[in-house]
Amino acid sequence: MTEVSRRRLFAYSGASLAAGAAAGAGLVSVAQAVEQPADDGAVPFFGAHQSGIATPVQDRLHFAAFDVVTDDRDRLIRMLKEWTAAGAALTGGRPYGSAAGGLPESPPDDTGEALGLPPARLTLTVGFGPTLFEKDGKDRFGLKARRPAALADLPHFPGDALEPDRSGGDICVQACADDPQVAVHAIRNLARIGFGVVAVRWSQLGFGKTSSTTPDQQTPRNMFGFKDGTRNISGDDGKALDQHVWASAKDGAPWMGGGSYVVVRRIRMHIETWDRTSLKEQQDTFGRTKGEGNPYGAEHEHDPVPLAKLPADSHVRLAHPDSNGGVRILRRGYSFTDGSDGLGRLDAGLFFIAYQRDPRKQFVALQNRLAGSDHMNQYVQHVGSGVFACPPGPRKGGYWGETLFA
């Protein structure tokens, strides 16, 4: 049964698994999680690294931060095992357990709105926040000693206007897919499986990828109308990934070997103000042209950046590795538009996501510089924030976070 795709589900009665899995809260044994079909756009789920980091960026995002609402370590581990089984099924394009063919007296295991949809390159990437290791001085799950030094709390940066209910969280899940219904479905079903163990603290939908990790393809544009991701770490540049993105077991926290650290920032863009500025001011802000995206002083988008030709306070000059002792990050952000605020302005911006090996040396170093001097600060404000340690990818028969809890 776990072999059928959602497309072919209706041929299947669903009774066997539904019977094995107690209604609604059924624990599907991890052994049942099987390999993905290679067709239909499924991204492999098991492996040394979690998918959704080096994976070519999908079109849509649903990011959720959860609070753990139990003190019971075993229940938490049990949930992570169930999540892993569900993750394997959903990323493979299969429902989690029964969806429509189960026992009539039971709630279906899967909520059903992705039935008939292909996998859409769904990836699920899990991370653990600082508060999972210690909260209000309390070692909640006996994990305090295992907190990586790299998972330091982010400092306050100049200009930050962080909203507590868009920040933090004990566990995060980044769901990316080419179809938003598939990404939303995945988060919803994880939340449902986790009922009583975790509760959604906040979540964010992203509708337009802003950072390509596939430099050969057309670079997407952010809400300022500029190409974004031109000089990003490429998802197939193994050397750069090893150097800047994947944590090593020797970095200090052995359980994080093959994992990565993610920093997320909900960055509101004042697009009404931006839209009234001149083309020159816009281009000076980045040190790149709007049309082609070439850096000042060079001709084409992908030409090397002649740093000295860019305005001293331009975003690209300040963020470039040559201005930061070689520091690089893997950006994987999305645009968002969440209706409008009370003043008739679009609540729009960039949900910034960056993966790296050590946030203290990468995001924090960069953002300290940018928060102080970036000309772009006139047009943006950071309103949400989170930092999470993303463990290595689950192995077959294992589960998300196994190296941490082992």
Which residues make up the interface to ligand HEM (CB under 6 A)? Answer: 222, 224, 226-232, 265, 267, 269, 286, 288, 305, 315-316, 319-321, 329, 350, 352, 363, 366-367, 370, 380
Q: Which residues contact 389 (CB under 8 A, 6 or more apart)?
A: 127, 128, 129, 148, 150, 151, 253, 256, 259, 261
CB atoms within 10 A of CB 339: 7
Binding of its own copies by 352 (CB under 8 A)? no
Integer Cα distance of 114 and 328 in angstroms: 37
In the bound complex, what is the minimum distance in angstroms from residue 16's beta carbon to its own copies?
A: 16
Q: Are 289 and 279 in contact (CB under 8 A)?
A: no
Find which of ligand HEM, its own copies, none residue 139 binds, CB within 5 to 8 Å per kind.
Answer: none
Integer Cα distance of 356 and 246 in angstroms: 7
Single out the residue of 83, 133, 224, 261 in contact with its own copies (rule: CB under 8 A): 224
Q: Which residues contact 365 (CB under 8 A, 6 or more apart)?
A: 324, 327
Which residues from 4-33 bind its own copies, rule CB under 8 A? 9-10, 24
Nearer to its own copies, 210 or 403 (CB): 210
Find which of ligand HEM, its own copies, none residue 32 binds, CB within 5 to 8 Å per kind.
Answer: none
Find which of its own copies, ligand HEM, none residue 230 binds, CB within 5 to 8 Å per kind.
Answer: ligand HEM
Integer Cα distance of 263 and 34 in angstroms: 31
Find which of its own copies, ligand HEM, none residue 225 binds, CB within 5 to 8 Å per kind.
Answer: its own copies
For residue 301 the two structure tokens come to: 């988008």
Integer Cα distance of 128 and 112 in angstroms: 28
Bridge partners (DSSP) listed for residue 381: 268
Integer Cα distance of 406 and 404 in angstroms: 6
What is the x/- site pattern for its own copies, positions 264-293, by CB under 8 A?
Answer: -------xx--xxxxxx-xx-----xxxx-
In the bound complex, what is the minimum distance in angstroms from residue 355's beta carbon to its own copies?
A: 23
Single out the residue of 103, 139, 158, 303 in contact with its own copies (rule: CB under 8 A): 103
Binding of its own copies by 104 (CB under 8 A)? yes
Find which of ligand HEM, its own copies, none residue 233 binds, CB within 5 to 8 Å per kind.
Answer: none
Q: Are 383 and 268 in contact (CB under 8 A)?
A: yes
What is the x/- site pattern for its own copies, positions 329-348, by CB under 8 A?
Answer: ------x-xxxx-x-xxx-x
Which residues from 27-66 bind its own copies, rule CB under 8 A? 60, 62, 64
What is the x/- site pattern for its own copies, positions 127-166, by CB under 8 A?
Answer: --------------------------------------x-
Nearer to its own copies, 242 or 275 (CB): 275
Long-range contacts of 235-243 (CB under 8 A, 24+ apart): 235/54, 235/55, 235/56, 235/330, 236/54, 240/328, 241/54, 241/330, 243/357
Binding of its own copies by 201 (CB under 8 A)? yes
Q: Are 388 and 127 in contact (CB under 8 A)?
A: yes
**What is the DSSP annotation of 234-300?**
-TT-HHHHHHHTS--GGGS-GGGTT-EEEEEEEEEE-HHHHTTS-HHHHHHHHTB-SSS-PBTT-SS
With b for 16 or more beta-carbon neighbours within 10 A and e for fewer, the 299-337 pattern comes to: eebeeebebeebbebbbbbbbbeebbeebbbbbbbbbbe
Nearer to ligand HEM, 362 or 403 (CB): 362
Nearer to its own copies, 336 or 355 (CB): 336
Binding of its own copies by 232 (CB under 8 A)? no
Nearer to ligand HEM, 80 or 316 (CB): 316
Single out the residue of 36, 222, 314, 367 in contact with its own copies (rule: CB under 8 A): 222
Nearer to its own copies, 58 or 356 (CB): 58
Nearer to ligand HEM, 202 or 355 (CB): 355
